[in-house]
A = this chain, B = another copy of it.
């Protein structure tokens, strides 16, 4: 790596890995600007335990067994884990492909402990990147109320400001799986960059991208390509053509500082934690849209609506380099 230490961002990655989570992990591994200092897992696309297994195995394929992985929360703050999203990510979370079993095991302690410890190890420098339900972050905020002052940035994949939801008409999956945790994260005194469906549904991998991974001869890229069959089957009827949305990888690239945003206003964000039809919705105050989104009094979160360039080519290149 030729980048100077100053420009390298230590990132804690919180994931329910997950097909697009694996793509995001590959992006982080590929980035010379990222020091992936720890990974915590959470139930969402699959169970926290399965996500840890998938993560360890994928790190093994990528030759990065050195990165510590901690198992996180199995259940959301309220209620119990609902079994995941096999229709999107397969029964095992990675499209029912079998990765070579890694010998590495998860570290002692849970994911919430890991993010707290990393925040203390890298005070004022750590970026927290969460691409699953925010349960581990909510627990960490309870255990360490100073966490918001310790971390530098929080980037999440989740929610929908004006775009439709993907579980209910208004709820996105990561928020839907633990609305109470999401509410805690958006209420905590830090600034969250929300990378939601407004922008992630607009950036997609095509069959051509998938084929390029297959043909690369590189194990990590080929593993992702194999996973993508399941993901593609889910998204094809949604988009009306064979392609997949790049949710988690885009959040990873934004956390890495690689993306120029064209429209990412500062807005207030609340989470609907009622039991009504709006449950799990991120209620973003977008009322400033008609005059260029002046930041409302007291608002501090940032919601990414548009980025400067197509993201798929950058992601493809990154995955091919792992």
Contacts and interface: CB of A to CB of B under 8 A. Distances in A.
Interface residues of A, number: 31
A286 B238 contact: no
Contact of A238 (B165, B170, B239, B291): B291
A79 interface: no
For this chain, the copies found in one complex come to: 2
A163 B162 CA distance: 6
A120 to B, nearest CB: 34
A279 to B, nearest CB: 8
Contacts of A270: 169, 277
Contact of A162 (B162, B274, B281): B162
Nearest to A286: B164
Nearest to A278: B278
A268 interface: yes
Interface string A290-301: 111000000000
A278 B163 CA distance: 15
Interface string A235-259: 0011110000000000000000000
Interface in A132-166: 162-166
Given A169-B270, A240-B290, 10 more contacts: A162-B163, A163-B289, A164-B285, A164-B287, A164-B289, A170-B278, A201-B290, A240-B291, A272-B277, A274-B274
